[in-house]
Structure 1
Amino acid sequence: MGDVQALLQSVFGFPGFRGVQGQVIDRVMAGRHTLAVMPTGAGKSLCYQLPAVARDGLCVVISPLIALMHDQLRSALAVGIRAATLTSADDNRRETIDRLRAGALDLLYVAPERAATPQFRELIAEARINLFAIDEAHCVSEWGHDFRPDYRLLRPLLDSFPHVPRLALTATADAHTRADILVQLGLPEDGMIIAGFDRPNIRYAISPRDGAARQIADLVRQTPGAGIVYAPSRAGTEKLAAQLAATGRPVRVYHAGLSPELRQANQAAFVASEDMVMVATIAFGMGIDKPDVRFVAHAALPRSIEAYYQETGRAGRDGAPAAAHLFWGAEDFVRARQRLDEVEPDRRASEQARLAALSGLVETGDCRRMVLLRHFGEQPAGPCGNCDNCLTPPARVDATELARKLLSAVFRTGQTYGAGYVEEILLGRSTARSQMNGHDSLSVFGIVDAADAPLIRPLTRALMLREALVTTEHGGLMLGAQARPILKGEQPVEIALPPRRTRKRGGAAVPAADDPLFEALRACRRALAAEAGVPPYVIFHDATLRDMAAARPDSLWAMGQITGVGARKLDAYGPAFLRAIAEHLSA
């Protein structure tokens, strides 16, 4: 074994471990099986890359997507690790196998489909394996939101090397999923290290959808840097991308309906860009290890809190401020409940619980982060101060009496009409349609005054979230299972009203790039990245450039003291950045 602390500084340029990295690496170095649950951006890859360098032999990394493997490969090669991938997309497979047999590899990335084959087992039996790292380990669990059946086939491979430590890594796993990972991968119950789920640099916001294209365009204008916008359908991504192009930002789309070549080209352009907006379905994301994504927006409801956490977690992986904004409509929950009917009976209860948890996150007037963390079993000390409800607390309104009026109007109009029509009846707005139906003479006609009129629509959404109102197959409203206790006065209804938001510029949580030296260093990085054919962040992260701009090193030794500058990168890029600093200071 090498000196782990010395390698941390010399290879990766880090003066010390972050969070639980040290605990995880200690277990790996001691040859113990481990499940590490660490938030995105906490440095999970270091937990196997450093032992791979420090221990003799080969670390096999099992990863779900080719794009993710290739991205991780670039980063490993950039710091001097002897790494390779063995995938169907590689044209150097013969060379990789020869290097494996010759003991000339520290890291080998493979997909679970290949790793589970007898042929692969026979191949790596010729090497000295020092670690199995199973990335995105939640994919092994049917409880997880990204279940991959091929992950279930890994156990025979792992058991064939009983003395090789196993390291399972994930950012997204609730208690059920964690327990299942331990069983499926043969890990001990006392081998779990949970770092916590908090991403304090992400500012969470959730708003009712009211012209999603305009709302998201405002977010794009206010937030510099690269961003991801998730839309619920292929057609939706195309339409929204065309609308967002009017902001002047470069925009690309990604969904399963595009040709593989176009998907790959769009993904590569996004990874290399510092300000592109990618509008995508959920097919995009797991294979992206881009640290400088400054915002993630959802144009519709995600599938679950787990999916929301993972998708928003693609923002701010470099630790700098980032924004996550969800725009939702009551119809999203209607569709989600309809999908529950298609779920296998033995999974329906758990999926209903996931939907209820998501409903609670959307509806709450309290700290969003506290709701999110409690879902994953944490007990936060208090409000975060960095979500929409903390920064601009919503007004709380007792809407019990109005809810009873609204439910009564739905019932007395026959439980067939939409929200807009029911609102007209409550406000006493006579129309040809209401006259024809005889609804102008109902006792509920005009029983809501103008002062309460603005509450009707948010209350309708809230009652739909609570299943006091449901929709008919034609889009009308009818009473749901939770309507009766409200109508009988047994269940109070309080709703949180988000404050009116004015359109503004420059109000995002993300800092503008206002340091001329930092911009000069970014320009130097872009040139080096273009020359090397890699994304800019592979050279150095923004955080490292900001440290350079603050420290203004005037020698290679001084630059080597900056976090993120290891020996390999210092040799390769140090002189160019020193020149950029000197030229800026002399200008």
Structure 2
Amino acid sequence: MNKELSLTGQLQKYFGFDRFKGQQEEVIRSVLDGNDSFVLMPTGGGKSLCYQLPALIMEGTAIVISPLIALMKNQVDSIRSFGTEDGIAHFLNSSLTKVAIQSVKEDVLSGKTKLLYVAPESLTKQDNIDFLKNVNISFYAIDEAHCISEWGHDFRPEYRRIRPIVQDIGPAPIMALTATATAKVQHDIQKNLGMLDARVFKASFNRPNLYYAVKPKVKPETQIIRFIKENEGKSGIIYCLSRKKVEELAEALQVNGIKALAYHAGMDSATRSGNQDKFLMEDVDVIVATIAFGMGIDKPDVRFVMHYDIPKSLEGYYQETGRAGRDGGEGQCIAFYSYKDIQKLEKFMQGKPVAEQEIGRQLLLDTASYAETAICRRIMLLNYFGEKLEEPCGNCDNCLNPKEQVEASDEVVRALKAIAEVNEKYKAEHISDILTGKVSAAVKSFKHDQLACFGSGDDHSDRFWNAVFRQSMIAGLINKDIENYGLLKINEKGRQFMEKPESFLLVRNHNYDELEEEASSAGTGPSGGSGGDPELFAMLKDLRKKVAKKHNLPPFVIFQDPSLSDMSIQYPVSLDELKFIQGVGEGKARRYGKEFVELIKTYVEENEIERAQDLVVKTVANKSKMKVFIIQSIDRKLSFDDIADSKGIELRDLITELEAIVNSGTKINIDYYIDEIIDEDHQEEVYDYFREAEDDSVTAALDELGEDEYTEEDIRLMRIKFISEMGN
């Protein structure tokens, strides 16, 4: 029998397949010939077969070094299921008892075991090293080899120790396998393992069946629930960066009638593997998980992968999205993006060694540029992995809905000049205040209102300027100083740009922060210009006026426009439903809600309206620790700066949280802080203004009261005081 036939015959015998996929056969021949091999195959490309089949064919035991205990168990079960005896594959890790370890070692020494899976931590134990010295090793396979590289998305220091340990145990061919590696990561892996001469097998990273899209992170829960309802019964994975968010989102999906479960490293292993099995067995449709989920899980029909939080690197993103559509069918990959998430991830890097921060920052920059780009996403992704795609793919959001771009070279020069004029010693927010001519407390105290560049950018908003800084950073004109966190520095390329400006296209549609703010201020209904019931909205406004008169309050204290707007979309007919309306909450629903739900109920009956309750996104009762922490801190009269610092947020974000707290009916007393920064006469003037005001617009208040007298912050704080005292 010729070798050709026998290899395919072995494949048929052990795995029941009659042909190899992609480069599998070449890789296997290389291993059988005793070569070191580097295998780069995207998720779903059949990497594991590349070491499983040669291990079954060759003399001795293959040592497979793998990072995840769940993954090892999965693979061992899978090999045993092909009908040979259990001893053929084992794993050696911390989950085994002493008795079990002894039994594994006996099977290995007797020659029964063809594949031994070992965690890198177990490999470093001296008694395991001594044991492996007595084993006939066919070859070493290092799975998820990107863990070796500090530039990889999942770096693990213990992976860097594999090479010396392998040399200590005894030489045998080495095979490194990964689903994601840039040229830099590949070189790092080969160098660290001492296999620069290895044969390299690289499959294409292009998965034409996957659709890539990035959406602004505006009400992400609502967007996710709507998407899943429109794709009922399809399997999907949603990735979040924190365990807390995983649990909150899974609960929100369940409340909305979606079969979903959570998965993260903080759960006990029985619950975790139980949830994973339910997903594989299709008892649930959706798993909400941290990144640990899905490695090595071979579910071919995952139809969507969503990223609630933008990942820390494009390798991580590519690997996670690669779990969609493995069967070649539809796979939608949707990420939600807000630049604030990038800033949050940058904050987490503080305190790490500078070299690590440098790497982390570069990886985040690549991710931000992918999220904000106007070019074909597939071209950009493949380019990141060193592969060229000649034509736009026609299967991503940028191809199907091209983004508007505007020429902004003049604005970039103005931004760079402002950074230079403050001697590169300030953050983006402060410099955008200078450009827009905003006299904030910091601008005043540093006398930056006397600079030549002060007000030179007042033809744009601060959000626009923040987008200019961000995209200039992505284009490599400015850097953020790592040591002095967040200060903007102009680099060589930036200096050249100031001297000889070139065309600079700013992606208009991806000014995400602007979209976010518009969405949160506009609400979702008629006042925000979208799809509610205009007739009901008008009736609700009339009722609000009547109720306000009765209580002798301005109408916006009862319910704000976005709340009425949401009512005209969702038709709540009970107080229980009303409390889930945007900006209402339990307190306000009880205090003012009765007449509103009665009016809506009558309107729905008279007009025979079918309420699309299945698409009404119910929210989970708000158990936000942040809000509780803020309320308790204010009760203890802590300074606002201290509260904001301890939660890692800006002062303006704290004020936004306070607005949400009072708008939904909770009473808080912030007099101790206001008295410190606004004198009594000014307080009275703003308070009286809001008593008579038509609406609660900050811009209108500033126009009326004078921007030279008050800052936006002053007005927002006084509005919080007013609504809390009058309405709650």
Provide TM-score, normalisation by structure 1.
0.71
Alignment partner for residue 501 of structure 2, among 468, 471, 490? 490
Work out the CA distance in 2 between the residues paired with 1:229 and 1:39: 20
**Counterpart of 1:353 in structure 2: which amino acid?**
Q
Distance 1:401 1:246, change over 3 A: farther
Counterparts of 1:360-509 in structure 2, within 5 Å, are 360-400=369-409, 447=459, 462=471, 481=490, 490=501, 492-498=503-509
The equivalent of 2:63 in structure 1 is: 60
- Aligned-pair CA distance for 1:458: 6.8
- Aligned-pair CA distance for 1:308: 1.4
Work out the CA distance in 2 between the residues paired with 1:192 and 1:467: 32
The equivalent of 2:527 in structure 1 is: none
Deviates more, 1:145-154 or 1:324-333: 145-154
Query: Larger radius of gyration, structure 1 or 2?
Result: 2
Distance 1:118 1:283, change over 3 A: same
Is the Cα–Cα contact under 8 Å of residues 419 and 489 in structure 2 kept in the other structure? no
Work out the CA distance in 2 between the residues paired with 1:294 and 1:189: 39
The equivalent of 1:561 in structure 2 is: none
The equivalent of 2:705 in structure 1 is: none
Distance 1:161 1:281, change over 3 A: closer
Work out the CA distance in 2 between the residues paired with 1:149 and 1:416: 33
The equivalent of 1:266 in structure 2 is: 275
Is the Cα–Cα contact under 8 Å of residues 60 and 138 in structure 2 kept in the other structure? yes
Work out the CA distance in 1 between the residues paired with 2:164 and 2:414: 62
- Aligned-pair CA distance for 1:313: 2.1
Work out the CA distance in 2 between the residues paired with 1:112 and 1:382: 42
- Aligned-pair CA distance for 1:51: 0.7
What do the CA deviations read for 1:89-144 (whole angstroms, capped 9, x no partner)? 24643433332222222222121122233322343444432222111111122332
- Aligned-pair CA distance for 1:463: 6.3
Work out the CA distance in 2 between the residues paired with 1:87 and 1:416: 47
The equivalent of 2:184 in structure 1 is: 176
Distance 1:399 1:6, change over 3 A: same
Residue 204, structure 1, aligned to residue 217, structure 2: no
Residue 39, structure 1, aligned to residue 42, structure 2: yes
- Aligned-pair CA distance for 1:353: 2.6
Residue 189, structure 1, aligned to residue 197, structure 2: yes
Is the Cα–Cα contact under 8 Å of residues 36 and 195 in structure 2 kept in the other structure? yes
- Aligned-pair CA distance for 1:272: 3.1
Work out the CA distance in 2 between the residues paired with 1:471 and 1:32: 45
Work out the CA distance in 1 between the residues paired with 2:358 and 2:428: 30
- Aligned-pair CA distance for 1:243: 2.2
- Aligned-pair CA distance for 1:48: 0.9
The equivalent of 1:86 in structure 2 is: 92
What do the CA deviations read for 1:20-74 (whole angstroms, capped 9, x no partner)? 2122111101111111111111100110111122223322211111100111122
Counterparts of 1:210-249 in structure 2, within 5 Å, are 210-223=218-231, 224-249=233-258
Is the Cα–Cα contact under 8 Å of residues 395 and 498 in structure 1 kept in the other structure? yes
Work out the CA distance in 2 between the residues paired with 1:211 and 1:486: 38
Distance 1:404 1:57, change over 3 A: closer
Is the Cα–Cα contact under 8 Å of residues 237 and 280 in structure 1 kept in the other structure? yes
Give the 3-state SS of the residue equivalent to 1:359 in structure 2.
Answer: helix
Is the Cα–Cα contact under 8 Å of residues 427 and 488 in structure 2 kept in the other structure? no
Residue 28, structure 1, aligned to residue 31, structure 2: yes
Counterparts of 1:509-524 in structure 2, within 5 Å, are none
Is the Cα–Cα contact under 8 Å of residues 4 and 54 in structure 1 kept in the other structure? no
Give the 3-state SS of the residue equivalent to 2:351 in structure 1.
Answer: coil
Work out the CA distance in 2 between the residues paired with 1:485 and 1:144: 32
The equivalent of 1:567 in structure 2 is: none
Is the Cα–Cα contact under 8 Å of residues 38 and 198 in structure 2 kept in the other structure? no
Alignment partner for residue 99 of structure 1, among 101, 107, 111? 107
* Count of aligned pairs: 492
Work out the CA distance in 2 between the residues paired with 1:492 and 1:350: 29
Counterparts of 1:490-569 in structure 2, within 5 Å, are 490=501, 492-498=503-509
Counterparts of 1:573-584 in structure 2, within 5 Å, are none
- Aligned-pair CA distance for 1:417: 11
Greater RCO structure (CA 8 Å; 6+ sep):
1
Distance 1:358 1:402, change over 3 A: same
Is the Cα–Cα contact under 8 Å of residues 468 and 479 in structure 1 kept in the other structure? no
Work out the CA distance in 2 between the residues paired with 1:469 and 1:346: 19
The equivalent of 1:520 in structure 2 is: none
Give the 3-state SS of the residue equivalent to 2:111 in structure 1.
Answer: coil
Work out the CA distance in 1 between the residues paired with 2:206 and 2:316: 15
Work out the CA distance in 1 between the residues paired with 2:188 and 2:409: 42
Work out the CA distance in 1 between the residues paired with 2:178 and 2:228: 30
- Aligned-pair CA distance for 1:368: 0.8
Work out the CA distance in 1 between the residues paired with 2:371 and 2:118: 38
The structure where helix makes up a greater share of residues is 2
- Aligned-pair CA distance for 1:312: 1.8
Work out the CA distance in 2 between the residues paired with 1:272 and 1:174: 34
Work out the CA distance in 2 between the residues paired with 1:108 and 1:478: 50
Provide TM-score, normalisation by structure 2.
0.58
The equivalent of 2:264 in structure 1 is: 255
Distance 1:494 1:108, change over 3 A: same
- Aligned-pair CA distance for 1:200: 2.6
Work out the CA distance in 1 between the residues paired with 2:173 and 2:315: 28
Alignment partner for residue 304 of structure 1, among 307, 313, 319? 313
**Counterpart of 1:278 in structure 2: which amino acid?**
I
The equivalent of 2:286 in structure 1 is: 277
Distance 1:248 1:408, change over 3 A: farther
Work out the CA distance in 2 between the residues paired with 1:308 and 1:51: 31
Give the 3-state SS of the residue equivalent to 1:239 in structure 2.
Answer: helix
**Counterpart of 2:118 in structure 1: which amino acid?**
V
Work out the CA distance in 1 between the residues paired with 2:194 and 2:418: 57
**Counterpart of 2:144 in structure 1: which amino acid?**
E
Residue 324, structure 1, aligned to residue 333, structure 2: yes
Is the Cα–Cα contact under 8 Å of residues 314 and 366 in structure 2 kept in the other structure? yes
- Aligned-pair CA distance for 1:461: 6.6
Is the Cα–Cα contact under 8 Å of residues 228 and 277 in structure 1 kept in the other structure? yes
User: How much is the aligned-residue C-alpha RMSD, in angstroms?
Assistant: 4.4
Give the 3-state SS of the residue equivalent to 2:402 in structure 1.
Answer: coil
The equivalent of 2:80 in structure 1 is: 77
Identity among equivalent pairs (%): 37
Distance 1:454 1:112, change over 3 A: closer
Work out the CA distance in 1 between the residues paired with 2:384 and 2:480: 28
Distance 1:94 1:443, change over 3 A: closer
Is the Cα–Cα contact under 8 Å of residues 413 and 501 in structure 2 kept in the other structure? no
Work out the CA distance in 1 between the residues paired with 2:488 and 2:496: 12
- Aligned-pair CA distance for 1:444: 7.5
- Aligned-pair CA distance for 1:194: 1.8
